[in-house]
Structure 1
Amino acid sequence: PQQAEALNDQLKHLIEEGGGNVAKIEYWGLRNLTYRIKKNRKGHYSLLAIDAPAPAVKEMERQLSINEDVLRWLTVRVEELDLELSPLLARRERERERERERTPREDAAAEAAD
């Protein structure tokens, strides 16, 4: 995770140097790859929402292609940046909330049973 976060910070610095802005960075964690890439079954996923001029994006893509630790990347141009949590992280957050709600009730039920 530290290596992935360091790469995210490096990309943020690169975009800002190129006159762009990084609106959000989401680290999705270690996930299974759909298929093996360079003999790897798992990879660290990140989502960056950036607003940057074309030369800054090109330089970011060049740096990603040079970095041996980066297996794949995808750059998508959008009309408007979405600053909300991604569906993946929103689902995780809902699950955490449910777990937090469940835990106090279970503790109270266990105390009542004693």
Structure 2
Amino acid sequence: MNKYELMTIYPTEDEKFKAGTEAVRAILAQFGASIEKEESYGDRDLTYEVKKQTRGRFVLFTVSANPAKISEINAQFKLTVDLLKSLFVRIDEK
């Protein structure tokens, strides 16, 4: 299991935000990843329009996951309607 930071961007509407975060948590659990930390960065302007949205609500997750499952998790994230963007970054533990 490697440690990753997962930055996610959701629509700013409360119901879509809640649905999106629940979907992300469920997908991570489905693939055996564990969430160690969840940190909200609030609403921010997007550099470019994503799914017809100009603002997004940012949340940073710290996750332990099997490296072989990351591509499968990303594929599921792309199917999630209430998730605008996501990015995994591996944390080097020194």
For Structure 1 versus Structure 2, the TM-score category normalised by the shorter chain is 0.5 to 0.7
One-letter amino acid matched to 2:42: G
Deviations 1:39-72 (A, max 9, x none): 3211121111100113442232112111233332
SS at structure 1 position matched to 2:47? strand
Does the CA-based 8 Å contact 1:26-1:48 persist in structure 2? yes
Correspondence for 1:98: none
Counterparts in 2 of 1:45 and 1:6: CA distance versus 1, 3 Å: same
TM-score (norm. length: structure 1): 0.56
- Higher RCO structure (Cα 8 Å, ≥6 apart): 2
Correspondence for 1:4: 17
1:1-114 aligned within 5 A: 1-80=14-93
Q: Distance in 2 between matches of 1:74 and 1:45?
A: 11
Q: Distance in 2 between matches of 1:63 and 1:53?
A: 15
Structure with higher strand content? 2
Which residues of structure 2 form unaligned runs of 5+?
Answer: 1-13
SS at structure 1 position matched to 2:24? helix
Question: Looking at CA atoms only, which structure, 1 or 2, has the larger radius of gyration?
Answer: 1
Divergent runs of 4+, >3 A: none
Structure with higher helix content? 1
**Superposition CA RMSD, Å:** 2.1
SS at structure 2 position matched to 1:68? coil
Which residues of structure 1 form unaligned runs of 5+?
Answer: 81-114
Aligned length: 80
Deviations 1:14-61 (A, max 9, x none): 222322211112232221112223432111211111001134422321
